[in-house]
C-alpha cells in the first residue's frame, strides 16, 4: 500500500521527472524538478496556495513515481517525451505540439553550416540536442560562426561560387568568403571540425578565455561588455551540456540495468522508442545471492520478454548475458528481425546505462528500508513472541474463531500466518453441523476435531493446507478456549502448543494465556501488533463468512417458512430462545408473550411445528 508520508521522506534531492497517478493508475500529471524532494513535497503542503485546477489534480493523486536524471536539462527533455507519450489531463502547457529545438550541423554539404532546427530528421546531417532554450542555440551559432569563421548564408556551394559579391560578414572579417573561393574546401572543413569538437563539449579553453575577457571588462568598468561575455558563457554551457535522454539514431532499444543487495536485486529498464526515452519500469528479483550477474540478467530477460508483446532491436546491458546466443535466437524469432545485445563502455551510451543503474539502486535502497520495516512487523514480531513464550522454531500459526447469531447458523474460521505474514490460500471456513444453540465450546470442538482429523488422513497432497500442522495454535480467548483445543489435540495424540489471546473488558488484547499462566505483553512492541492482527483477522474472516451465508441465503432458516413470521418476529424468537428445539417446545401462550409477537403469530408457529411433526412421522 502506498504510504504518502513515508514516500515523501524517501524522495532524493536530485533532478528528475515525477509522474502523478490516480487510483486507477492513470498518469494525470508529469512534471520535472531540479530537486525532486523539494518539488514533489510542495504539492502536499496545506499552506501552499495553488490554482483550482492544480487543487483538483492534487485531490486525485493516489500515488506517484519518479525517474532520477543527471541534470535539469535531461529532466526537461524526458518530461516532454513522457507528456507526448501519455497526454496527462492536467499537463496543459506542453500539449500544444511544440518540440524542443535542435542545433543542426549540415555535414552533408561541401561547406557545412550550423543551423537552428525545430525537429530532427534522417537527412544525413548531424544534430545536437534537443535543448530547452532557443535563444541559447541562436547565440551559440552566432558565437561559433565568429570563432571558427563559418558561413551562415543559404548559397549552394560550390555551385554558386563567384556568382555574387561577398556579403557583409566577409567585409567585417567574420566569414572567409567560400562563396568567392577565398578558402579551400579542406581549410573550411578543418574550421568546421574544430567547431564540432567544441559543440561536443571541448569548451574548456573557450570558456576560460571568455571568463578572462569578462573579468577584464568588469575591471575596466565596461559592465555592458562584461554582461555580453557572461551571456556568451551561459549560452555555451547550455548548448554543450550533455544529455542522454534522446539519441539521434531513432532506434528502439531497452536499457537494462542491475542493482544488487544481498539475496535481492532490482532491474531497471528504460524504454527507448524512436531514439526517445518514453518510460521505465523496475522489477524485483529474489534468490540472487549465489548467482553471477550474467546469470541473473539471463533469467530476467527470459522471464520478461516471454510475456511482452514488443521486443526492441537492441537490448543494452552492463554485463554479458549468460546463454546470449540462444536467447538472441529466441528473441529474434519472436520479433521477426535480428535482435542484438550491447554492453556500452564509453560515451553517451555508457552514461545512459549508468543513469538506469542509478535509478535501480535508488529503488533498491528505498525498498531496503521498506523491507526492513516489513521484517520488523513479521519475522521480527514472531521472534518477539517466541522470546515471550520462551520457545523457538515458530513459523506457522493457526488461529480459530466462532461466529453465530444467538446460536443460529454457526460457522467457524481458521486463519494461517507464516513468519508473521497472512497466508490467505490456507484459510478455511467451517459450517458447524453437530451443535445447535449458542455453544461456542461445542462448535470449537467440532471445528478443531474436523481440522486435525483431516490432517491425519493418508495420501494428503502438499497443496492441501490441512497437510501442514501449525507450530502453535492461537485461540481467540483465555483458559476455556485453550482447554478445549488441548483436549481435542490430546484425543488425537497431537502435541501442538496452544496459546490464548486474552482480551480485557474493553475487548482489547491484554496478554497471552500459555501453559496455565497469563503472560503480560508490551503493547508498544511488534509482537503485540502481530497478535492483534491475527486476532482481528480471525474474527473478520468468521464474521464475513457468516454474513455471506445470510446474504446469499445459503442457509435458509426454517423460521422463514412460518406464516405470520417476518424478519422482526424471527429475530425476536431467536433472541428469546437459544435453539429451534426450544421454540418447537414452547406453548402458544409463551410465544405470545415475546415482544413483537401476538396470539395469531404464536398460533401460526405452533401450528407450523405440529404440521412438521406429522410430516416427519409420515416419512
**Cβ atoms 267, 282 nearer than 8 A:** yes
- Beta-bridge partner residues of 417: 397, 422
Which pTM does this prediction carry? 0.41
pLDDT for 617: 39
φ/ψ region of 157 (left if φ > 0, alpha if ψ in -120 to 50, else beta) reads beta
Q: Which three cell numbers stand for residue 174?
A: 567574420
pLDDT for 215: 93
What's the mean pLDDT in 382-390? 92
What is the 3 state secondary structure string of 76-135?
HHHHHHHHHHHCCCCCCCCCCCCCCCEEEECCCCCCCCEEEECCCCCCCCEEECCCCCHH
What's the mean pLDDT in 371-396? 86
Strand segments (E) across 192-274: 253-261, 264-273
Other Cβ atoms closer than 10 A to 581: 11
pLDDT for 400: 92
Instruction: For residue range 123-153, list pLDDT tens digits in order.
Output: 888 887 666 567 767 877 888 888 888 998 9
pLDDT for 118: 78
Q: With 60 as the cut, is the pLDDT of residue 615 above it?
A: no
pLDDT for 249: 64
Confidence grade of residue 349 (pLDDT, cut at 50, 70, 90):
confident
Q: What whole-number distance in Å separates Cα of residue 17 and Cα of residue 130?
A: 17
Q: Which three cell numbers stand for residue 108?
A: 552533408
Place of cell 572543413: 189
pLDDT for 144: 84
Q: What whole-number distance in Å separates Cα of residue 212 and Cα of residue 233?
A: 11
pLDDT for 486: 94
What's the mean pLDDT in 30-57? 85
**Cβ atoms 573, 559 nearer than 8 A:** yes
Question: Taking Cα atoms as reference points, which of 414, 501, 397 lies closest to residue 449?
Answer: 414
- pLDDT higher at 534 or 285: 534
pLDDT for 335: 85
Instruction: For residue range 94-134, list pLDDT tens digits in order.
Output: 333 445 677 889 998 999 999 998 777 778 888 876 665 67
Confidence grade of residue 248 (pLDDT, cut at 50, 70, 90):
low
Q: What whole-number distance in Å separates Cα of residue 54 and Cα of residue 61?
A: 11
Q: What whole-number distance in Å separates Cα of residue 77 and Cα of residue 244?
A: 9
**Cβ atoms 227, 251 nearer than 8 A:** no
Q: What whole-number distance in Å separates Cα of residue 109 and Cα of residue 432?
A: 90
Confidence grade of residue 614 (pLDDT, cut at 50, 70, 90):
low
Bond before 529 cis per omega within 30 degrees: no
pLDDT for 97: 42
Please provide the DSSP assignment of 290-313 as one string.
Answer: T--HHHHHHHHHHHHHTT-S---S
- pLDDT higher at 118 or 615: 118
Which residues in 518-551 are b (16+ Cβ under 10 Å) and which e?
eeebeeeebbbbbbebbbebbbebbeebbeebee
Q: What whole-number distance in Å separates Cα of residue 262 and Cα of residue 257?
A: 17
Query: Which are the contacts of 53, defined by CB distance < 8 A and separation ≥ 6?
Result: 90, 92
- Cα 159 from chain centroid (whole Å): 60
Task: Mean pLDDT check: name the lowest of 222-231, 484-493, 573-582.
Answer: 573-582
Task: Mean pLDDT check: name the lowest of 85-99, 183-197, 221-235, 556-570.
Answer: 85-99
pLDDT for 309: 62
Query: Which are the contacts of 66, defined by CB distance < 8 A and separation ≥ 6?
Result: 11, 16, 17, 18, 19, 36, 40
Q: What whole-number distance in Å separates Cα of residue 352 and Cα of residue 67?
A: 13
Pairing of strands 518-520, 509-514: antiparallel
Q: With 80 as the cut, is the pLDDT of residue 556 above it?
A: no
Q: What whole-number distance in Å separates Cα of residue 578 and Cα of residue 105?
A: 93
Other Cβ atoms closer than 10 A to 37: 16
Question: Taking Cα atoms as reference points, which of 293, 297, 335 lies closest to residue 314?
Answer: 335
The DSSP secondary-structure symbol of 443 reads: H
Amino acid at each position: 500500500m502506498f504510504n504518502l508520508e513515508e514516500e515523501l521522506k524517501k524522495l532524493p534531492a536530485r533532478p528528475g521527472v515525477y509522474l502523478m497517478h490516480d487510483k486507477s493508475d492513470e498518469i494525470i500529471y508529469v512534471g520535472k524538478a531540479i530537486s525532486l524532494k523539494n518539488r514533489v513535497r510542495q504539492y502536499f503542503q496545506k499552506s501552499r496556495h495553488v490554482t483550482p485546477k492544480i487543487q483538483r489534480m492534487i485531490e486525485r493523486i493516489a500515488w506517484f513515481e519518479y525517474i532520477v536524471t543527471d541534470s535539469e536539462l535531461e529532466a526537461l527533455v524526458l518530461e516532454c517525451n513522457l507528456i507526448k507519450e501519455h497526454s496527462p489531463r492536467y499537463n496543459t502547457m506542453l500539449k500544444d505540439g511544440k518540440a524542443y529545438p535542435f542545433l543542426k550541423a549540415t555535414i552533408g554539404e561541401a561547406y557545412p553550416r550550423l543551423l537552428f532546427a525545430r525537429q530532427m530528421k534522417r537527412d544525413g546531417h548531424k544534430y545536437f540536442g534537443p535543448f530547452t532554450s532557443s535563444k541559447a542555440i541562436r547565440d551559440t551559432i552566432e558565437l561559433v560562426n565568429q570563432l571558427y569563421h563559418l558561413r551562415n548564408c543559404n548559397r549552394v556551394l560550390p555551385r554558386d561560387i563567384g556568382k555574387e559579391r561577398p556579403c557583409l560578414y566577409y567585409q567585417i572579417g567574420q566569414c572567409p568568403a567560400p562563396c568567392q573561393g577565398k578558402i579551400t574546401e579542406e581549410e573550411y572543413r578543418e574550421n568546421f571540425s574544430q567547431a564540432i569538437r567544441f559543440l561536443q563539449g571541448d569548451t574548456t579553453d573557450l570558456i576560460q578565455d571568455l571568463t578572462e575577457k569578462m573579468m577584464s571588462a568588469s575591471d575596466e568598468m565596461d559592465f555592458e561588455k562584461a554582461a555580453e561575455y557572461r551571456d556568451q558563457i551561459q549560452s555555451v554551457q547550455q548548448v554543450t551540456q550533455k544529455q542522454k535522454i534522446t539519441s539521434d539514431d531513432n532506434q528502439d532499444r531497452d536499457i537494462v540495468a542491475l542493482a544488487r543487495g544481498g539475496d535481492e536485486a532490482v532491474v531497471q529498464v528504460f524504454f527507448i522508442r524512436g531514439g526517445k526515452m518514453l518510460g521505465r519500469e523496475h522489477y524485483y528479483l529474489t534468490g540472487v545471492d549465489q548467482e553471477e550477474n550474467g546469470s541473473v540478467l539471463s533469467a530476467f530477460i527470459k522471464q520478461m520478454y516471454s510475456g511482452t508483446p514488443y521486443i526492441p532491436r537492441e537490448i543494452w546491458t552492463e554485463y554479458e548475458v549468460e546463454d546470449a546466443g540462444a536467447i538472441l535466437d529466441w528473441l529474434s524469432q519472436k520479433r521477426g528481425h535480428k535482435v542484438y545485445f550491447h554492453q556500452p563502455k564509453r560515451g553517451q551510451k555508457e552514461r545512459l546505462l549508468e543513469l538506469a543503474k542509478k535509478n535501480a539502486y535508488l529503488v533498491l535502497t528505498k525498498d531496503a528500508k521498506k523491507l526492513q520495516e516489513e521484517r520488523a512487523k513479521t519475522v521480527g514480531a514472531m521472534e518477539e513472541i517466541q522470546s515471550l513464550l520462551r520457545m523457538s522454531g515458530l513459523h506457522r500459526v493457526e488461529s480459530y474463531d466462532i461466529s453465530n447469531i444467538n446460536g443460529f447458523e454457526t460457522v467457524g474460521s481458521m486463519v494461517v500466518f507464516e513468519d508473521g505474514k497472512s497466508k490467505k490460500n490456507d484459510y478455511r471456513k467451517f459450517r458447524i453441523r453437530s451443535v445447535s444453540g449458542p455453544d461456542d465450546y461445542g462448535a470449537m470442538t467440532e471445528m478443531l476435531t474436523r481440522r486435525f482429523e483431516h490432517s491425519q488422513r493418508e495420501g494428503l497432497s502438499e497443496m492441501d493446507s490441512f497437510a501442514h500442522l501449525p507450530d502453535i495454535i492461537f485461540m481467540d480467548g483465555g483458559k476455556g478456549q485453550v482447554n478445549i483445543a488441548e483436549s481435542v489435540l490430546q484425543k488425537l495424540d497431537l502435541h501442538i502448543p496452544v496459546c490464548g489471546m486474552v482480551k480485557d473488558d474493553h475487548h482489547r488484547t491484554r496478554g497471552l494465556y500459555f501453559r496455565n499462566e497469563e503472560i503480560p505483553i508490551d503493547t508498544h512492541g511488534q509482537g503485540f501488533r502481530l497478535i492483534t492482527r491475527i486476532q482481528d483477522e480471525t474474527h473478520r474472516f468468521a464474521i464475513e463468512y457468516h454474513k455471506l451465508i445470510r446474504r446469499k441465503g445459503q442457509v435458509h432458516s426454517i423460521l422463514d417458512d412460518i406464516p405470520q413470521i417476518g424478519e422482526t418476529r424471527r429475530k425476536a424468537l431467536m433472541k428469546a430462545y437459544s435453539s429451534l428445539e426450544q421454540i418447537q417446545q414452547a406453548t402458544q401462550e409463551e410465544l405470545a408473550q415475546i415482544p413483537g409477537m401476538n396470539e395469531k403469530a404464536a398460533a401460526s408457529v405452533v401450528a407450523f411445528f405440529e404440521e412438521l411433526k406429522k410430516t416427519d412421522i409420515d416419512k
